[in-house]
């Protein structure tokens, strides 16, 4: 599955002249229910991520959840991602920074955009200048998220800023223990984020989201990626023209 998705994305981005970083979670640690899928084994999954990067000549990223995870994951990927719920965990952020890899910190659903500067400062004061932040929505009630697009320029003032198009459309805390979502709004979210100046976007995608092991309810179907990428490229060109 990882190779199938990576190959499709790589072909589309290469044809359009767009950069691509491949993301895969080697372990899904943030799960609502005990019976939710968490992975196939850490080493096997990390080996797959390494192989994807080598075959398609792509940088690769994955989440880390503990300080101990950072060294193991850093041997296989180019960017370490700090999950939103863990963005204030100092030991984790510093351990990721000390690997020398780029550290992408997802904004907590409970934090303002401006507050994320403190997380970025932790990375930089540890001696690593390579820190990014990712907007993924703010908790709105118990079962919804909203995106305040003022946060993109606010965070860009201190770090490259990514917009997570799909997690920001989650509907968490469902009674079933399975997260819902609004995938019909992905393209709207994408165009808006690029127009607001986002430096990159994060997209969960799958050939058949209904069969995905995690977050299928808010995923983009893989077959729709090329058209979405085309729209974002047009919007990016317009943004650069308007701000030049």
CATH fold for domain 60-243: TIM Barrel (3.20.20)
pLDDT at 107: 98
| Per-residue pLDDT tens over the stretch 90-139 | 999 999 999 999 999 999 999 999 999 999 999 999 999 999 999 999 99
pLDDT at 215: 80
**Rounded distance, CA 87 to CA 189, Å?**
23
| Per-residue pLDDT tens over the stretch 129-182 | 999 999 999 999 998 999 999 999 999 999 999 999 999 998 887 767 777 889
pLDDT at 40: 86
Which residues touch 26 (CB under 8 Å, ≥6 apart)? 39, 42, 45, 46, 48, 49, 62, 63, 73, 76
Nearest Cα neighbor of 235 from 204, 184, 201 is 201
For the entire predicted model, the pTM comes to 0.93
Residue 70 has pLDDT above 80, yes or no: yes
Residue 62 has pLDDT above 80, yes or no: yes
**Rounded distance, CA 172 to CA 178, Å?**
8
């Amino acid at each position: 599955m990882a190779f199938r998705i990576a190959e499709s994305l790589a072909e589309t981005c290469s044809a359009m002249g767009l950069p691509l970083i491949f993301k895969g979670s080697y372990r899904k640690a943030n799960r609502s229910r005990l019976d939710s899928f968490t992975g196939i084994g850490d080493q096997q999954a990390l080996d797959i991520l390494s192989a994807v990067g080598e075959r398609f000549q792509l940088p690769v990223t994955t989440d880390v959840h503990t300080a101990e995870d950072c060294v193991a994951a850093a041997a296989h990927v180019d960017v370490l991602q700090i999950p939103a719920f863990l963005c204030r965990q100092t030991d984790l952020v510093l351990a990721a920074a000390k690997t020398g890899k780029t550290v992408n910190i997802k904004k907590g659903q409970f934090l303002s955009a401006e507050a994320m500067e403190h997380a970025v400062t932790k990375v930089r004061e540890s001696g690593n200048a390579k820190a990014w932040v990712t907007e993924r929505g703010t908790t709105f009630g118990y079962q919804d998220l909203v995106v305040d697009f003022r946060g993109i320029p606010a965070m860009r003032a201190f770090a490259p800023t990514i917009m997570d198009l799909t997690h920001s459309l989650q509907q968490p805390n469902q009674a079933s223990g399975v997260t819902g979502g609004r995938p019909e709004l992905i393209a709207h979210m994408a165009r808006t984020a690029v127009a607001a100046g986002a430096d990159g976007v994060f997209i969960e995608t799958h050939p058949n989201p209904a069969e995905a092991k995690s977050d299928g309810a808010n995923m983009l179907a893989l077959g729709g990626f090329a058209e979405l990428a085309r729209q974002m490229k047009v919007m990016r060109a317009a943004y650069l023209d308007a701000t030049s």
